[in-house]
């Protein structure tokens, strides 16, 4: 096994035991970038020299007994919305060409303090306003979409060009690309991970979280990220916690909610079969299955768009009026549409969210964790705009990909996507676990228990 193939946990163990140096690990990842990046397009910027300097320092510190923890010396990619002092933050847009951050975002600062090493900034759908990341190819099939908007981060982790990465999630933008590329993606509870220094799409829906190869890795990274920051008005003063899941697989007494409504409507048969089989594995570990009804399903997408579109347009108001030609057509149209929405539309969406949160809290009294597909279909071909379901119903790719992920953004509950197999074409399938607010430990426990019953997953094949 090459160093770039290691999980965070495995790399941490090897570095701590001095079987592997941070220099060897970073060099291996940078070599992998040189090998596959021309075909994948996961990165906007590769910070090779900066990474090598940081690796040499990490190697020196570890050798002299100054080991900072499990992220020390581990290479990471950061979505190109996340500020790092002196490094470009372009949001994959011509609007931000030449922009360099003057200071670290909170999450970048925390990861650097934990010893993680930046190898580059990863592509996003422009300003995170889309679900395909057109600059980036799927790690498993170059002719298909990577998913978005954190497509670059998911492809980097899936292909071995980062040991872990951060993404942002406004309507599913961590979980969708994680599912489509066969990796783990965690959207934390709203307010658990600070967003100071992260370019916003929609302030009341935005989340920052990890994309990793294993559930254990997601817990390790979340432990470094979580914690209050007064510079983010939504940040919650939650106490510091260790989110690493335990090693056990016994789920006796835990209730897994299986939705009767919404989450299995218009879902590809292979996706449904893989998710239901994974749920059966959880039941075999002792979990009890209970059926639940998802509340207010007819209002989900209207509420998501009713919140996101006006908030995004407000953020971009100045540049939309001065340099509209610099935006991609798809993003510009959405931003211009936001100018036509009224205050009444926005307030109705806010009221809907309030009711939805209340009803979800009642539903979650019946189950500890909800299990469902992350996305209803695997990765579509690049440029495809529509999915046609078995009953002949067409649906836009963007609506299909956001339909099952948006509820967690509206309600703010934590959601974890993990791989549960592949379809007949070899494309990854993801299962989504949703929990109660600040219930990340339960999600990680369930996800890790499932993962331990499965064969070790390989990286996506090289180009």
Residue numbers annotated as active site: 79, 149, 173
Longest dimension (CA), the chain: 65
Q: Residue 437 CB: number of other CB atoms within 10 A?
A: 18
- Report the distance separating Cα 205 and Cα 408, nearest Å: 9
- Report the distance separating Cα 428 and Cα 378, nearest Å: 7
Q: What is the DSSP letter of 188?
A: P
- Report the distance separating Cα 270 and Cα 277, nearest Å: 11
Q: Where are the alpha helices (DSSP H) in 339-389?
A: 343-363
- Report the distance separating Cα 461 and Cα 39, nearest Å: 12
Task: Give Cβ neighbours of residue 126 (< 8 Å, ≥ 6 apart).
Answer: 91, 92, 93, 327, 328, 330, 331
Task: Give Cβ neighbours of residue 233 (< 8 Å, ≥ 6 apart).
Answer: none
Q: b or e along 298-324 (b: 16 or more beta carbons within 10 Å of the residue's beta carbon)?
A: ebbbebbbbbbbbbbbbbbeebbeeee
């Amino acid at each position: 096994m090459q160093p770039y193939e290691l999980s965070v946990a495995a790399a941490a163990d090897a570095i701590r035991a001095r079987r592997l140096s941070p220099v060897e690990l970073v060099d291996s990842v940078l070599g992998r970038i040189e090998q596959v990046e021309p075909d994948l397009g996961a990165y906007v910027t590769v910070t090779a020299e900066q990474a090598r300097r940081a690796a040499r320092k990490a190697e020196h510190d570890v050798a002299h007994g100054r080991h900072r923890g499990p992220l020390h010396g581990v290479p990471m990619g950061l979505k190109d919305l996340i500020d790092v002092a002196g490094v470009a933050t372009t949001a994959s847009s011509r609007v931000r060409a030449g922009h360099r951050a003057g200071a670290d975002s909170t999450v970048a600062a925390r990861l650097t303090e934990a010893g993680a090493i930046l190898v580059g900034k990863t592509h996003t759908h422009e300003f995170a306003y889309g679900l395909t990341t057109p600059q980036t190819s799927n790690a498993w099939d170059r002719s298909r979409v990577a998913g978005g908007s954190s497509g670059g981060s998911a492809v980097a982790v899936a292909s071995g060009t980062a040991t872990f990465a951060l993404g942002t999630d406004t309507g599913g933008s961590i979980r969708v690309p994680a599912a489509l590329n066969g990796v783990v993606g965690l959207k934390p509870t709203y307010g658990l991970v600070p967003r100071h220094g992260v370019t916003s799409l929609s302030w009341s829906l935005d989340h920052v979280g990890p994309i990793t190869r294993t559930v254990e890795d997601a817990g390790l990274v979340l432990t470094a990220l979580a914690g209050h920051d007064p510079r983010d008005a939504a940040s919650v003063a939650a106490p510091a916690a260790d989110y690493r899941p335990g090693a056990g697989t016994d789920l006796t007494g835990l209730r897994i909610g299986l939705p009767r409504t919404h989450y299995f409507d218009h879902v590809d048969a292979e996706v449904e079969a893989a998710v239901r089989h994974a749920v059966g594995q959880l039941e075999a570990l002792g979990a009890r299955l209970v059926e639940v009804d998802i509340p207010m399903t007819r209002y989900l997408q209207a509420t998501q768009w009713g919140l996101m579109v006006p908030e995004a347009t407000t953020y971009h108001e100045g540049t939309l009026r001065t340099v509209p030609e610099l935006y991609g057509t798809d993003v510009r149209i959405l931003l211009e549409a936001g100018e036509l929405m009224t205050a009444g539309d926005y307030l109705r969406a806010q009221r809907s969210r309030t009711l939805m949160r209340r009803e979800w809290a009642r539903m979650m009294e019946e189950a500890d964790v909800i299990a469902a597909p992350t996305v209803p279909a695997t990765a579509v071909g690049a440029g495809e705009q529509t999915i046609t379901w078995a009953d002949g119903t067409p649906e836009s790719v963007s609506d299909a990909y956001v339909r099952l992920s948006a509820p967690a953004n509206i309600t703010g509950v934590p959601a974890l996507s993990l791989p549960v197999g592949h379809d007949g074409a070899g494309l990854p399938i993801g299962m989504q676990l949703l929990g109660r607010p600040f219930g990340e430990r339960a999600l990680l426990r369930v996800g890790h228990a499932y993962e331990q019953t499965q064969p070790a997953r390989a990286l996506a094949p090289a180009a």
